Amino acid sequence: MENDLHSAADDPTATAPKVSTPAVPSESSTERRMFDKPNLQLHDPDPYAFANRIRKLVVIASLLACLAAAPFFSRVFAYQVRRGQMQAEYETATKALGEMAPQLKAFEEASRSIARKVGPSVVSINRLTLSRGGRTMFQGIGSGFIVDPEGYVITNYHVINQAERLIVRFSNGESSDASIVGGDQRTDLAVLKIDGGNLPALEWADSDQLQMGDLVWAVGSPFGLENSITFGIVSSTSRRRDSGITEDIYQEFFQSDVAINPGNSGGPMVNLAGKVVGVNTMIVGESYAGVSLSIPSRVARDHYEQIREKGFVERGFLGIDPSAPTTTLRQKLGLERGEGVAINNLRTNTPAADAGLRNNDVILQWNDHKAVDPSLLSQRIAATEVGSEAKVVVRRLENGAPVDKELTVRVGRRTDEGSPVSFAGADDAKERVRQATDIVDLVGSYLQLRRQGRGYVGLCPWHDDSKPSFQVNPDRQSFKCWVCDIGGDVFSFLMKMDGLEFREALEQLADRAGIELRPAQPGQRIEPGSPGDKKTLLAAMAWAVERYHHCLLEAQQAEPARAYLAERGVSAEAIQRFRIGFAPQGWDWLLKQGPGAGYSPAVLERVNLIASRSSGDGYYDQFRGRVLFPIRDVRGRPVAIGGRIIPQLAEAEARPDYKPAKYVNSSETPIYSKSHTLYALDLAKEGSSQLSELVVVEGYTDVIACHQAGVTNVVACCGTAMGEGHLKLVRRFTDRLVLVLDGDEAGRRRASELLELFIASPIDLRILTLPGGLDPCDFVASHGSDKFADLVAQAPDALEHKLQSVTNGMVLSADNTHAATRAAEQMLATLARTRPLLGEAPSAFFLREQSIVGRLSRRLRLPEESLRKRLSELRQSADSKPLVAARVEAIEDAAPRRVRATELPSWEREAIELMLLGDDFAQKLTQDLDEVDFHGAARELFVAFRDAALAGEATYEHLMSIIEDEPLRMLLIEIDELGSGRTTSDPVKRLNDLLLIRQRRHEGAARGEQISALRSGELCESEADQAVAALFASRKRHETGSPSTEG
C-alpha cells in the first residue's frame, strides 16, 4: 500500500487510489439521489436537511393555498363592502324618501285628481258598419272627449270615417248613439254630437305654453281597455312636414313619450291642471316605441269651433307652391340663409295671380308674420279669413336688381275644403253604389247588348254606328266606344246617357240599387215628410201634377181648358206626353186635398203650390183657373209648374182694379232653379243626341207644337231669359244651340244681347228669326215641320245675325268706310263688355275673340289691326266698364286636350300597364319609381297609384272610384284595354326590363351632368380626376354589360 501511495505521489499522472472514507455529497447530488430508483441507497449524514425540505414544502403549499383562496376572500370582502354601501344607500334613500314623502304624496294625489277630473269626460267610440249582407259589424274603437256640456265630442277623423253608426260609451258604463257634426281629414279632427245636457266637459289649455320636459297625461281606451291613463313628458313642442313626420303642410303635432296605443286615438292629452293641451292622434312605428304625437290644442280648438259652426274647416287659399329659396335665388336677391319663402307653380286665375305675384318672387312677410318656413307660411295663409285682404311683402328681380314690393291680396277659399264628413263618406257611398250596380244590367237597360268573348258589344248611342263599336267589360265594370273616344264606369255612362251631374247619377243609381244615401251632415237630421226633405218636396210636386192632369181629363169645370187646348191644336197624345193639367178657379181646391195625401200646408207652400194669405191667416192655391204645363228636370221629375190664363176665364175674373196675369210660373224652390232648367229637356235630349243640336223657343205651346210635328229637339226657357246657367246645362247634351226669336223689336233687342253670350261661351250659338213675325207654333201649323227644320239648319250664328242687323241696308264698299266703321263700333262695343264664363280658360276666350275680330275685318273690309286697337281702347275706357282683363294668358294655358294612351311615351305607358296588373306590381313600382320619371297625364296617374298603394288599395276599381277628372279616367281605361291584350307576355320580365331602362337613363343623366361640370370647369382638380375615373368606369360597365333594350 505504501508503494502504491508513493508511486502515486511521485507520478502526478498516476491515477489516485481509492479512499475508503466516503466523501460528503453535494446538496444537488443528494437531492438528485432522493429521486433515484428505489433500489438505490440514500445516505444523508445532515440531520436538518430533511426538516429544511419539509419547511420549504409547507411554505410552497401555503403560498399555493393562499393563491387559490384569494378570489374567494376577495369576493367575500367585495360583498361585504358592497353590502355596506347598499346598506348606506338604503338608509340614505329611506331617509330621503321620508323627507320627500309629502311632495311625492302631493304628486301622486295630483295624478289621481287628474284621473278623477278627466275620466268622466273621456269616452270610448265604437264604429259600426253594415256588411254587404246587411248585418251590423263592429269595425273599430277609438277615444274622444266632451268639450261642451251640450254634448259636443272631439275625436280623430280616422276614428269615425265611413262609419254607419257610432256608439259613445261613458266611463260609468252608459252608452249613447252619436251623430257627426263634421270633420277635417287633413288635420284628423272630427266633432260628434250626443244627446244630453249638463255633461262633464274638459277645459282647453294653451299648447303654445308647452315646453320640453313638461308633464302630460293621456286618457283613453287603448286596445279597448276603457278609461286608461298613462303619463310622460313632452319630448318636442313642434313636429311638422320638415321633420319628416307628415307630408301635409297643414298638419302639426307635439311629441311626447306618453304611451299611446291603438284605441287611444282621439283622446285628450292633459297638463298638470287637467286641461287639454292636445288630441292624441298617432305614434311613430307599428306599436308604441316612446314617440307619440298629439294635435296641439291651439289647432284643435280653432278647428273644433269651425267644424261646429260649418261642418268643415275653411282655409285661406293663395294659389302657389311655397318652398325654400334656392342658393342661386338667394344670392341674386341678397337674402340671408333661412330668410323668405319662394313662390313656385303659381296658378292662373287665383288670388296670387290677381294680386300680381309671380313665380320666383320671395315672400318676406305675410301680414305681421315674417316668412321663414314654407309650412308655417302655408298655415298662416290657411288661417287667414277667406275674403279678407292680406298684405304681402315680396322681393323680386326687376331690371336685374332686387326690389321689395308690398302687394295686397284678397284671400280665396280652398276648393278642396268644405265637404262635411258623413256617416258613410261620399267615397264610401259611391263605392257601395258602384258595387251594387252591374254595368251590363245598366247598359242593357238602354242598349241591346250581345256577348263577344269575355265582354259585351252593342251599337253606340252617341254616333251613327253600323257595326257594334260600343264595348262593355264586365270584369272591369267599364265601357268604351273607341270611335267616340268615350268610356268610364256606371256613373260615367248614366251621366253621359241622361245628361246628369254626378250627384244626380249617384242618387239615381242608389235608388235603383235600393241603397239609402245618408245626409251630408247627420248632425242636422232632416225629418222625412218635413219641408226640408227633398224627396218629400219632389213627391208633393209629382202628386199635384197628377191631380191637375186628372182634373183636366175628367172634371166638368175643365171644359174651357180642353176647348182652349183643342183650339191651339194640342192633341190628346200631347196632353198625355206633357202631362198638361188644369187648376180650377177655387181658392183651396189643392189645399184641401193635401193632408189626405200626406202633404202638410208647409210642404205645399215650400214648392210654391200654395201661398200664405197676406193676413197671415191660412193659405190659398197658387194656381187658379189656368192651363198648367208641368216643368220637369232632366230625370223627368216634376219640379215646377207654368200656368197660362184661359181667355174665357180671364174675362170672368177681371175687375176694374184687377187684371189677372197671362202667365204664372213657380218661383224658385229647393227643387227648382229657373236659370238651370229648360222646359221639355227631358223629352228633347234623346233627339239632341241624334241631331247634335237643341232648339230653344219662347213658349210652352211652341214646344208642344214642334214635338207634335216631329221636331222633338225643341225646349223653352221657364219664365226667364237664356243665360249662363242654361248654356252650361245645354253643353251637357250638345255643342250647337239654335234660339228661335220673334221678329219684333223685342226679339231683335234680345238677339243683340245674346251676342255677348255667343262671344263668352264656347258653344255654337245660332239665332233664327222666323219670317212674317210668326211664332214657332203658328209657323209649323202653316208651313210644316220640314220648312221649320230647314230654317233651323240654315240659322246664322249670333255674330252673323248681329252683323246682318247692324248692316241692314248698308252698302259696304271701299268708298263707304263710314257705314262699315259705324257697324264695327257697335260690334266692338259688345265685345268690350263681354267676359269669359266662369271656369273657362282666358286663353280660350282670347282665341275666340281674335277669330271674331278677324271675321269683322273680312266682312267690313277694315284693317284687322285697327279693329284690335279700337277694341283695346273701348275696353280701357271707363264708359265700356270692361269685364275682361286686357292682359291674356299665354296660348299654352288653354285647357289641355285629352291625351290618348298611344301618345304617351312607351316607357311611361308600360309602367302604368304593369301597375294595372295588380296590387303587388303597383306597390313595387310606386316604391321604386318617382314622379320625375313621368310627365303630364302619366304623372297624374302615377301619383294616384302611389296614393292608393299607400292605402293598400292600388287596384283598377279603386283608381276609377277616386279619379274625378274624366279625361284621366278615359286614359286609364284605354291603357287597361291596351294592356289586356298582352296576356302572353311575362310580366316579371317586363318589370325587370322597365327598371333596367330607368337605371340606365339615370346613369346617362348622371354622366351628362359630370361631363357638363367638367366642360364648365366648375370642379377642382381632385374632383375632376374622380369624375373622369367614374366616367371611364361607367363607360366600361356599359360596354361590357348586356346590350340596352331602351327605345
Angle in degrees, 0-180, between the axes of helices 936-950 and 966-980, rounded to the nearest 10: 80
Tell me the three state secondary structure of residue 230: strand
Higher pLDDT, 1034 or 987: 987
Overall average pLDDT of the 759-788 stretch:
79
* Beta bridge partner(s), residue 648: none
81 pLDDT tier (thresholds 50, 70, 90): confident
Residue 159 has pLDDT above 70, yes or no: yes
Phi then psi dihedrals of residue 630, to 5 deg: -65, 135
Which domains are assigned to the chain?
118-310 (2.40.10.120), 316-413 (2.30.42.10), 426-518 (3.90.580.10), 532-612+619-670 (3.90.980.10), 673-806 (3.40.1360.10), 807-893 (no CATH)
Overall average pLDDT of the 819-848 stretch:
63
Dig out the grid coordinates for 996 from the structure: 333596367
Contact, 663 vs 645, CB < 8 A?
yes
Residue 596 has pLDDT above 80, yes or no: yes
Instruction: Give the pLDDT score at 27.
Output: 46
Contact, 743 vs 771, CB < 8 A?
yes
**Global model pTM greater than 0.85:** no
* Report for 120-134, 860-874, 1022-1036: range of highest mean pLDDT: 860-874
The rounded percent of the chain whose pLDDT value lies above 90 is: 9
Residue 171 has pLDDT above 50, yes or no: yes
DSSP-derived letter for residue 587 is S
Instruction: Give the pLDDT score at 401.
Output: 86
Q: What is the pLDDT of residues 885-908, one digit of tens each?
A: 333 333 233 344 567 787 888 888
Where does residue 647 fall: left (phi above 0), alpha (psi -120 to 50 degrees), or beta otherwise? Answer: alpha
Burial class (CB in 10 A: 0-12, 13-18, 19+), 790: exposed
Q: Which range, of 61-65, 465-469, 807-811, averages the lowest pLDDT? A: 807-811
Q: Rounding to the nearest 10 degrees, give the CA dihedral for residues 909, 915, 917, 918.
A: -170
Contact, 395 vs 403, CB < 8 A?
yes
Q: Which range, of 252-256, 290-294, 583-587, averages the lowest pLDDT? A: 290-294
Contact, 154 vs 144, CB < 8 A?
yes
Instruction: Give the pLDDT score at 246.
Output: 60
Residue 1041 has pLDDT above 80, yes or no: no
Contact, 882 vs 834, CB < 8 A?
no
6 pLDDT tier (thresholds 50, 70, 90): very low
Dig out the grid coordinates for 115 from the structure: 284621473
Q: Which range, of 384-398, 672-686, 800-814, averages the lowest pLDDT? A: 800-814
Of 273, 275, 235, which Cα lies nearest the Cα of 254? 235
User: Which helix (DSSP H) or strand (DSSP E) does residue 253 occupy?
Assistant: strand 253-256
Cα–Cα dist 951/811, whole Å: 71
Identify residue 333 by its one-letter amino acid code.
L
Residue 29 has pLDDT above 80, yes or no: no
Question: Is the four-CA dihedral 30, 35, 41, 42 of positive or negative sign?
Answer: positive
Instruction: Give the pLDDT score at 420.
Output: 39
Higher pLDDT, 1045 or 809: 809
Instruction: Give the pLDDT score at 887.
Output: 31
Q: What is the pLDDT of residues 613-660, one digit of tens each?
A: 876 678 889 898 899 999 998 878 899 999 988 887 777 666 666 677
- Cβ count within 10 A of residue 894: 16
What mean pLDDT, rounded, does the chain reach?
76
Cα–Cα dist 503/339, whole Å: 47
Instruction: Give the pLDDT score at 277.
Output: 92
Instruction: Give the pLDDT score at 331.
Output: 85
Instruction: Give the pLDDT score at 165.
Output: 76
Dig out the grid coordinates for 1003 from the structure: 346613369
Instruction: Give the pLDDT score at 630.
Output: 95
278 pLDDT tier (thresholds 50, 70, 90): very high
* Beta bridge partner(s), residue 406: 393
Q: What is the pLDDT of residues 516-525, one digit of tens each?
A: 666 544 444 5
Residue 813 has pLDDT above 60, yes or no: no
Of 170, 168, 272, which Cα lies nearest the Cα of 214? 272
